[in-house]
Amino acid sequence: MNQHPAALQRGDTVGIIAPASPPDEMKLAKGIAFLERLGLKVKQGKHIHRRYGYLAGHDYERVEDLHDMFQDPKVKAILCACGGYGTGRIAEAINYDLIRKNPKIFWGYSDITFLHIAIHQQTGLITFHGPMLSSDVGDEQVHPYTKDTFLQLFTPKPFTYANHLSPLKTIYQGTASGEIMGGNLALIVTTLGTPFEIDIKGKLLLIEDIDEEPYKIDRMMQHLKSAGKLDDAAGFIVGDFHQCEPQKKEQSLTLEHLWETYLLPQKKPALGGFQIGHSSPNFAIPIGTQAVLDATGKALRISPGVVAKEAIK
């Protein structure tokens, strides 16, 4: 059974961790200042400023920070500073029973996708695929929508993503409902064959990515198809594929060709154009919550990802 975390209140403490690569320090400071302007207090992980090559500290240090935040009763939400690489390395070392007993908001995207999938499968906790402090909020120019998307953590209310937010494109018509699951396409594929292999049966598959040429996306979509995951899905939410244009356009297929190859034959509702992922604005979306995808009417109706604090028993 899925578990909703409690909504935030002004004055709450949120924990900041870097479970993948190290954050940009100046951008992180800007992101923390943004949270403080929202009326939140900030607790940084003990190892968040550590660097071990392309990782934000050794595996055990990054796991320790995650565990510390989940077991600290004063911390009401855990926000990731950035993505990069490394969450797949720590998934097997995480104490999921600790998370199950201390459910709270967990927020991030990109490489954090592996943790979204692992945490939801092991605990049923609804998490958030959303912009991060160093990667997004700390940029020089931050879209107002990117900032506003954090407000959903304070008030449990449904949200509809439609054409007023970005131009949506129907890939295949129809309506489907189910839990939202997925995130970064490359990370989704890396779960296959592991103890955390994505379960997409009867769910709405969210995909997005960055800096991948079409032939690489083709390879990943074929991998999902061969693994039966496209057959399992109830529908498809196609997020932003940022900077995924081919270097040699005359020798490449387009992303549209790939959707025609892999999504159209499924004859299931599929809708693209969502500014979810490595985009500006970057809209947050709950992972594991119920939603209705109306590909014909070009809308995604999403149930709240949090519940009022008094509703938690």
- Here the tokens at position 223 are 């991998």
Location of structure tokens 């129907």: 170
* Of the candidates 72, 88, 75, 132, the residue with the CA atom closest to the CA atom of residue 107: 132
Among the listed residues 47, 129, 278, 303, the single catalytic one is: 278
172/77 Cα distance (integer angstroms): 37
Among the listed residues 61, 64, 179, 208, the single catalytic one is: 208
Instruction: Report how far apart, in Å, the C-alpha atoms of 228 and of each of 121, 176, 178, 192 are.
Output: 18, 19, 18, 11
- Here the tokens at position 215 are 């032939």
Those residues whose C-beta lies under 8 Å from the C-beta of residue 310, and which sit 6 or more positions away, are none
Contact at 8 Å (CB) between 125 and 100? yes
The letter for the amino acid at 138 is: G
110 as an active site residue: the answer is: yes
Backbone phi and psi for residue 210, each to the nearest 5 degrees, phi listed first: -145, 145
Among the listed residues 21, 110, 135, 279, the single catalytic one is: 110
> In 3-state terms, what secondary structure has residue 134?
helix
67 as an active site residue: the answer is: no
> In 3-state terms, what secondary structure has residue 234?
coil
279 as an active site residue: the answer is: no
Give 127's Cβ-side CA count (13 Å radius): 29
The residues annotated with a catalytic role in the active site are: 110, 208, 278
